[in-house]
Amino acid sequence: MTVRIATWNINSVTARLPKLLEWLESAAPDVLCLQELKCATDAFPAEAVAELGYESAAHGDGRWNGVALLSRIGLADVVRDLPAQPGYRADDADPAEAPVVEPRAIAATCGPVRVWSVYVPNGREVDHAHYRYKLEWMAALRDAVRDDAAGGRPFAVLGDFNVAPTDEDVYDLAAFAGLTHVTAPERATLAALRELGLRDVVPRPLKYDRPYTFWDYRALAFPKNRGMRIDLTYANEPFADAVTDTYVDREARKGKGTSDHAPVVVDLDL
């Protein structure tokens, strides 16, 4: 059985819906993990994707986060949020108020595979409360996937991790000096996932040497290939061993009205 799984930070599913539908028809993934929906769960365009044969499960609150799973090979055992998922509390927040638990994770069984779609907190600045929240969130992710990582069923966590795993995964390390996404504590959270037996399934380069997945909208970052690889696939052994190809679909990043991320496609032979 061949299965195509993809992940894409869509940067507003409402604004990007025509692009999404066009891409679903051309790339034909069996499963698509979406992040940064920027819409509430009940506003997700489920009917539009259903017309193309996809079941969907969404989790959003209408703000700048939100995640979803689309599948045409089944969608079962849906879980929203990580067990013991931390919430975010700003430094100046009222201590009496509960932390805000944001919609950043959703899981389901799609045919022969189990997947999580995750949108890891950005972190903002190293001395910011959001950075501490990011590290706590990743620790909760590690606990959430421990059993699936060790199991015999093909399993992967896909999404926007907001962490570049290595120095080669940013166009210029000096440009990120003192900034998030490349710090040792952030990278240690990815190393903790690898300690569970999950592998970083790195896309093969196409046009350039490095398969970046994100480029800022400003300063001609995309045509100059000033990007980062932060949209990742972390897979257990049964999943990783079945990979026959994986690449970044740069074509989906071209033109006007696109997301600032490109889809990452993973093909499996199960």
The torsion of the CA quartet 49, 19, 108, 266, rounded to 10 degrees, works out to: 130
Q: Is the pLDDT of residue 93 over 80?
A: no
Instruction: Look at the chain and report how many structural domains it folds into.
Output: 1
> Which H or E element spans position 193?
helix 184-195
pLDDT in tens, 188-232: 999 999 999 999 999 998 888 899 999 999 999 999 999 999 999
Q: What is the mean pLDDT of the chain?
A: 96
Q: Residue 180 sits in a domain of what CATH number? A: 3.60.10.10
Q: Which residues are annotated as a binding site for Mg(2+)?
A: 9, 36, 160, 162, 260-261
Tokens 């193309």 — which residue?
52
Give the pLDDT band (50/70/90) at residue 180: very high
* CA–CA dist 193, 186 (Å, integer): 12
Beta strands in 81-230 (DSSP E): 105-110, 113-119, 155-160, 199-200, 214-215, 227-228
Q: Indicate the DSSP class of residue 40.
A: B
Q: What angle do CA 143, 147, 149 make, to 5 degrees?
A: 95
Q: Judge contact between 263 and 252, C-beta under 8 A.
A: yes
Of the pLDDT bands very low, low, confident and very high (cuts 50, 70, 90), residue 94 is confident
Tokens of 47: 């009917």
User: What pLDDT is stored for residue 92 in this prediction?
Assistant: 78
* Structural domain that includes position 109: 2-269
- In tens, the pLDDT along 114-154 reads 999 999 999 999 999 999 999 999 999 999 999 999 999 99
What is the model's pLDDT at position 97? 85
pLDDT at 179 over 90: yes
Q: Which pLDDT value is given to residue 195?
A: 98
The pLDDT of residue 95: 80
**Beta strands of the chain (E only): which ranges?**
2-9, 31-35, 55-59, 67-71, 76-80, 105-110, 113-119, 155-160, 199-200, 214-215, 227-228, 231-235, 243-248, 264-269
CA angle 157, 162, 167 (to 5 degrees): 105
pTM greater than 0.95 (yes/no) = yes
Q: Catalytic positions, please?
A: 119, 160, 261
**What pLDDT, on the 0 to 100 scale, is given for residue 209?**
87
Q: What is the pLDDT of residues 17-69, one digit of tens each?
A: 999 999 999 999 999 999 999 999 999 999 999 999 999 999 999 989 999 99
